[in-house]
Structure 1
Amino acid sequence: MPLDEEPEIPFFEVHEIVVPHLGHVPIVKGDFTGLPKKIQQFIAFYADYMKPRGIFICDGSDEEAHMVINKLLERGTLHHLPKYEENYICSTDPQDVARVEGKTFICTKNKHTSVARSRAGAKGGLGLWLSPEEAKKEMDERWPGCMAGRMMYVLPFCMGPLGSPLSKYGIQLTDSNYVLLCMRIMTRMSSQVFNLIGEGDFVKCVHTMGCPRPWRKKVVNHWPCNPEKVLILHFPEEHKVKSFGSGYGGNSLLGKKCFALRIASNLARDEGWMAEHMLIMGVTNPAGKERFIAAAFPSACGKTNLAMLKPSLPGWKVRVVGDDIAWMRFNDKGELYGINPESGFFGVAPGTNWKTNPNAMASFQKNSIFTNVARTADGGYFWEGMEDEVDKDIEITTWLGQPWKIGMPGKAAHPNSRFTAPASQCPIIHPRWEDPEGVPIHALLFGGRRPEGVPLVIESRSWEHGVMLGASLKSETTAAAEFKGKSIMHDPMAMRPFMGYNFGHYLQHWLDFNKPPNKMPKIYHVNWFRVGKDGRFLWPGFGENIRVIDWICRRLDGEDIAVDSAVGMLPKKGSIDLTGIEDKVNWDEMFTLPKDYWQSDIRETIEFLDTEVGDDLPPRLRQELNEQEERIKKM
């Protein structure tokens, strides 16, 4: 047996079906000849290119999912968690645990279609470009024969509600049945998609773990991958994504960041809409008035917690539309409407518990997949943050398969471990979350982890000033990316890892929306993470964040509860309802604007944007930066 030690366990007796396009590659499941010709050609080309042992055309059904789950249970890739209904856990190879931003490229004929005209010293953090010629060279070293001895799964999926005018379609080819199961949760995966595409356009997604048989390296955790050769290529001019070597999250679930942000942002630019790294939530005040808010935070900065907020103020109701990605467009009346293109939650597990996010916890009590978390001896899951919710003495198996107990050194779960759960199971999912028309967006929020200097909430002075606040977004780094340690990092618009084209052109795209008949939503910047002199958070966060949402909604209603400052509009003292938490909040410390800090911050921001975006930085944005710098000088 080869070193991969992964015997194939067939679903069915395989029948050799010779299709003219495919040679002797057998169709294991599905009706290839009944597919639209354009889709047949796509499958046939890559079957010939990647040489799979068979083709499995998926329909997204429960029966199909159970076949795959049983196969992975038998193999040892998945383990059932008997405390729950249809919940499963798996662990990846330890070398495959995060996004691979340094190996993720946009491939276009013109370099500056993809990346800005940066200046000397730029780090290239706002997207990486690879020429088509270089991309072909890299592909030729990897893709030919990459699925030899493995099954090729054909995943038809829709981003957004099936049939919605705001939705887009894709087909992913993959040799990972784990990816099949997760894509089934995260997208609308259905054989209907083949008919909805017909002979029309679709996004072509090609993924492989990069481990053809026989594989001469030892497979760890039943997770074949090829970390030395990982590469993710986007071809926006061809509406295509190709991913090699990794099975982790957004590297392999290509409907997520690759399609819904990088490719979709190109589509949005060309078609006049917005594809953003944003949650969408509906908030209803005690009087019954509902507002919808879209918010952009870097990964692991609280998007899911905010989207599923359990309000501490009586009479408020929060309902989630989406927790990670928003597609938004202005209608004929100039009203901004948004949809959640995903159908599941792919959330960071550590820190999530019944206190911090009970609605997320309720969402994954069944029909969910957990990746790189720990297991308890009684058949449950565990990660850091759940110490108060399990028996202190219970035996735990870490994500690396080691025995462990609470209080021992090290971590039981990987810091970037994840849950993948159907959005429909969230107890506060909004009844309009699959509305084909979307929901109206009344306000946009930006925010990150800023331990120093940045107040709890800032209202922008104008649409253009708000775009500048988004472009200036910074945050403490988290485990979601491939970076180590804690440092403040630029993450403009929370899109730094997900930009699909020239960031300067992207900012201009935002600025261009401010024209008749468009009614522009107000823009805010929030910071739940400022730390006081004693090293503790100045704001209690979590459910208390509804108090800031309350202030924002009152501002949307025109209440005079804001005061001008050098950096934007701040709440008038006492205008945020602090009933019951007065002793936990030092208002003056939370809203103070240290002049030295802000002078240094604006200079560093201008230097960053001048270096990374260079001559592509829109003149109006440069004007906003200069005006803010002048206001800060006069503080």
Structure 2
Amino acid sequence: MTNATLTNHKKLLAWIDEIKELTTPDDIYIADGSKEEYQNMLNLMVEGGTAQWLAEDKKPNSVLIFSDPADVARVEDRTFICCEKEENAGPTNNWKDPKEMKDILMPLFKGCMKGRTMYVIPFSMGPVGSPIAHIGVEITDSPYVVANMHLMTRVGKPVLDVLGEDGEYVPCVHTVGAPLAEGEKSAAWPCNAENKYITHFPETNEIWSFGSGYGGNALLGKKCFALRIASTMAKREGWMAEHMLILKLTSPEGVEKYVAAAFPSACGKTNLAMMNPTIPGWKVECVGDDIAWMKFKEDGRLYAINPEAGFFGVAPGTNYHSNPNAMESLKANSIFTNVALTDDGDVWWEDIDGDVPAHLIDWNGNDWTPDGGKKAAHPNARFTAPAAQCPVIAPNWADPEGVPIDAILFGGRRATTQPLALEASNWEHGTFLGAAMASEKTAAAAGGLGELRFDPMAMLPFIGYNMADYWGHWLEMGDKGGDNMPKVFYVNWFRKDEEGKWLWPGFGENSRVLKWVVERCDGKADAVDSPIGKLPTKEAMDLAGLDMSDKDWDSLMKVDASEWLDVAGKIEEYFAKFGDKLPARLTKQLEALKARLEAAK
């Protein structure tokens, strides 16, 4: 076993042996986390035809990879929560009995790494040694996974040092599911398109992933550990694992506040995390763009870490207008998957800055021209980049003690009904707002324009147990934290007027809403009561320099009781899915909302 001397952890070594016996690799390698190791993985992928170097004068030390067209995204229909009772997985998850799932998986895993190297990756989710962090060990047969885990987590010897001889870790097993016969050459992107399983065993904290080499299906620290397994650990242990960005906001007077925010996909989460504010003197810095782990400290407040060390971002749509700081983050030392290749050795995707090139190599490896009618980059094409390269990364983003959270934002994409901003009256009301969080489907989505898709706390695909029990956990955390809990707000950048024009300019102007949020936390900004929550007055929102008419402001903030009663009916239908597991306090919140709306009609 290569590098076996890195650890004396008997349980870990025994588990490695057990997986070796099951999967029969040709070699074993324990990752030490060194820069040389990362470079070796890139070289290995280039030599094997998986990756190609980008031009050194365009994207230094960066590679481009094209996946198999059958392996391009998370596969929610092949993602399972395996626990003893189906009701503990809840109606929003795919459930499987743990024994039944192991009976399916074990024959698939038997001999699955033949002809390949088995890599053992000790990794820390969060700064190594942080009281909020947790350790995992991923076994994989994919150099792509090793390289990405180097960027996305803290890997190697420092993690094993913290683990010691008997520390706790989450065991994660991954394979591309493509064993090699004697002398057989590996595919450039090996996978097993017919047999994908991304499985979680919350009662034993295990993750087993078979058949996919892509993204969160294979980088098991990301959604599998950081949200699905961590959410169940958090419920048991009294903390929170949330699908939230974390940003640091500093006022002109030097007052620092920390905001966490949960938005469904396509609602501007990464853009907000790295925003360049338009209000003079205010500064936004990024602590994390995707996941927040929060624990109580001695002062009774919630402190959060970003458990990741990198960004795994969607490339299409990212440009110097939508997110200049993301563009700066990926200028070097990055891994690009399923974007297009320019003739001068750079990357390209739809909506990137500049003119559309006359010729590209598309994500399928074929010649591409603008008149061909196909997209050059896959819609889910990704970049993996170190967070430390972000120009607005907060200096304390990797503080092991975490940062104190002052406010939590929820938000969705709503063309009508939902005002620009509102504040919850208390934590229980805030939990209700998060539980009822929804976005309108785009015109292309099944069901058509305007139909609401509920995505509570942006956790719908990522919760590791029954969503109703998760809401109960939120309420219990509020009971425990009392007045020390963060204030909760709901925002909507996407409201339109009757002509379909955006009422709010968005992007950097969203700093105006953040300013109101933190001023509300300090009791310095006004708000007026409405049936759905406390709304900012026009005077309380810093609109200096914006061409915002009274008519547009009124449209942006309008709360129509009849529209909202219709929404309340949809919330009631959604909540009914959870039966008697739904916390009674949320039912009470819904009834109180309906009563306030009836009174306002």
TM-score after normalising by structure 1 = 0.90
Of 377-386 and 156-165, deviating more is: 377-386
Shift of 1:216: 13
8 A contact 1:173–1:206 mirrored in 2: yes
Q: Deviation per CA, 1:350-388, whole angstroms, max 9, x where unpaired?
A: 1111121111111111111111111111111111111xx
8 A contact 2:350–2:375 mirrored in 1: yes
SS at match of 1:582: coil
Structure 1 residue corresponding to 2:178, chosen from 191, 211, 214: 211
1:625 counterpart letter in structure 2: L
1:63 counterpart letter in structure 2: E
Structure 1 residue corresponding to 2:294, chosen from 320, 328, 332: 328
8 A contact 2:516–2:525 mirrored in 1: no
Cα distance in 2 for residues equivalent to 1:589 and 1:364: 39
Cα distance in 2 for residues equivalent to 1:227 and 1:527: 38
Distance change (3 Å), C-alpha of 1:174 and 1:554:
same
8 A contact 2:122–2:160 mirrored in 1: yes
Cα distance in 2 for residues equivalent to 1:604 and 1:543: 33
Cα distance in 1 for residues equivalent to 2:480 and 2:69: 52
Structure 1 residue corresponding to 2:528, chosen from 556, 563, 587: 563
* Residue equivalent to 2:137: 171
Cα distance in 2 for residues equivalent to 1:314 and 1:132: 55
Cα distance in 1 for residues equivalent to 2:373 and 2:8: 55
Q: Deviation per CA, 1:423-464, whole angstroms, max 9, x where unpaired?
A: 011111111111111001000001111222111111111111
Cα distance in 2 for residues equivalent to 1:217 and 1:539: 58
8 A contact 1:300–1:348 mirrored in 2: no
Cα RMSD for the two superposed structures: 2.2
8 A contact 1:30–1:57 mirrored in 2: yes
Cα distance in 1 for residues equivalent to 2:531 and 2:285: 34
Cα distance in 2 for residues equivalent to 1:272 and 1:442: 19
Shift of 1:409: 2.3
Distance change (3 Å), C-alpha of 1:472 and 1:517:
closer
Does residue 438 (structure 1) correspond to residue 405 (structure 2)? The answer is no
SS at match of 2:109: coil
* Residue equivalent to 1:554: 519
Shift of 1:596: 3.1
SS at match of 2:479: coil
Does residue 356 (structure 1) correspond to residue 322 (structure 2)? The answer is yes
Q: Deviation per CA, 1:53-78, whole angstroms, max 9, x where unpaired?
A: 11111111111121121121122211
* Residue equivalent to 1:70: 43
Alignment of 1:262-341 (within 5 A): 262-341=228-307
Distance change (3 Å), C-alpha of 1:240 and 1:50:
same
SS at match of 1:553: helix
Alignment of 1:587-602 (within 5 A): 587-602=553-568
Cα distance in 2 for residues equivalent to 1:159 and 1:484: 38
1:302 counterpart letter in structure 2: G
SS at match of 1:514: helix
Shift of 1:301: 2.1
2:545 counterpart letter in structure 1: G
Shift of 1:583: 4.8
Distance change (3 Å), C-alpha of 1:536 and 1:411:
farther
* Residue equivalent to 1:99: 74
Does residue 142 (structure 1) correspond to residue 108 (structure 2)? The answer is yes
Of 362-371 and 515-524, deviating more is: 515-524
* Residue equivalent to 1:580: 545
Shift of 1:396: 1.7
SS at match of 1:346: strand
* Residue equivalent to 1:43: 16
2:367 counterpart letter in structure 1: P
1:367 counterpart letter in structure 2: N
* Residue equivalent to 2:334: 368
* Residue equivalent to 1:258: 224
Shift of 1:294: 0.4
* Residue equivalent to 1:23: none
Structure 1: stretches of 5+ with no match in the other structure: 1-26, 116-123
Distance change (3 Å), C-alpha of 1:215 and 1:31:
closer
* Residue equivalent to 1:521: 486
8 A contact 1:376–1:394 mirrored in 2: no
Distance change (3 Å), C-alpha of 1:181 and 1:300:
farther
Does residue 225 (structure 1) correspond to residue 198 (structure 2)? The answer is no
* Residue equivalent to 1:627: 592
Distance change (3 Å), C-alpha of 1:483 and 1:165:
farther
Cα distance in 2 for residues equivalent to 1:437 and 1:333: 13
Shift of 1:605: 0.9
* Residue equivalent to 1:57: 30
Alignment of 1:491-510 (within 5 A): 491-510=455-474
1:37 counterpart letter in structure 2: K
Distance change (3 Å), C-alpha of 1:588 and 1:393:
same
* Residue equivalent to 1:16: none
1:65 counterpart letter in structure 2: Y
1:62 counterpart letter in structure 2: K
Q: Deviation per CA, 1:586-633, whole angstroms, max 9, x where unpaired?
A: 11111112333211111111111111x111111111100111122122
Q: Deviation per CA, 1:79-107, whole angstroms, max 9, x where unpaired?
A: 11111211111111112111111111111
TM-score after normalising by structure 2 = 0.95
Structure 1 residue corresponding to 2:59, chosen from 58, 78, 84: 84
Cα distance in 2 for residues equivalent to 1:527 and 1:538: 11
How many residues were matched structurally?
593
Q: Deviation per CA, 1:166-196, whole angstroms, max 9, x where unpaired?
A: 1111110001110110011000012222232
SS at match of 1:496: coil
* Residue equivalent to 1:473: 437
1:163 counterpart letter in structure 2: G
Distance change (3 Å), C-alpha of 1:311 and 1:560:
closer
Cα distance in 1 for residues equivalent to 2:593 and 2:340: 47
2:177 counterpart letter in structure 1: G
Shift of 1:393: 4.2
* Residue equivalent to 2:167: 200
* Residue equivalent to 1:242: 208
SS at match of 1:56: strand
Of 239-248 and 532-541, deviating more is: 532-541
Does residue 131 (structure 1) correspond to residue 110 (structure 2)? The answer is no
Structure 2: stretches of 5+ with no match in the other structure: none
8 A contact 2:6–2:160 mirrored in 1: no
8 A contact 1:333–1:517 mirrored in 2: no
SS at match of 1:84: coil
Q: Deviation per CA, 1:381-422, whole angstroms, max 9, x where unpaired?
A: 111111xx3344442221122323446522111111111100
Distance change (3 Å), C-alpha of 1:332 and 1:93:
same
Q: Deviation per CA, 1:470-490, whole angstroms, max 9, x where unpaired?
A: 0001124589xx989865311
Distance change (3 Å), C-alpha of 1:517 and 1:297:
closer
Of 565-574 and 575-584, deviating more is: 575-584
* Residue equivalent to 1:113: 88
8 A contact 1:278–1:296 mirrored in 2: yes
Cα distance in 1 for residues equivalent to 2:48 and 2:362: 20
Cα distance in 1 for residues equivalent to 2:40 and 2:525: 60
Structure 1 residue corresponding to 2:119, chosen from 153, 156, 173: 153
Percent identity at matched positions? 49
Distance change (3 Å), C-alpha of 1:241 and 1:160:
same
8 A contact 2:310–2:387 mirrored in 1: yes
2:179 counterpart letter in structure 1: P
Q: Deviation per CA, 1:194-219, whole angstroms, max 9, x where unpaired?
A: 23212121000000111112399998
Structure 1 residue corresponding to 2:505, chosen from 534, 540, 556: 540
Cα distance in 2 for residues equivalent to 1:415 and 1:484: 21
Cα distance in 1 for residues equivalent to 2:195 and 2:24: 19
8 A contact 1:35–1:194 mirrored in 2: no
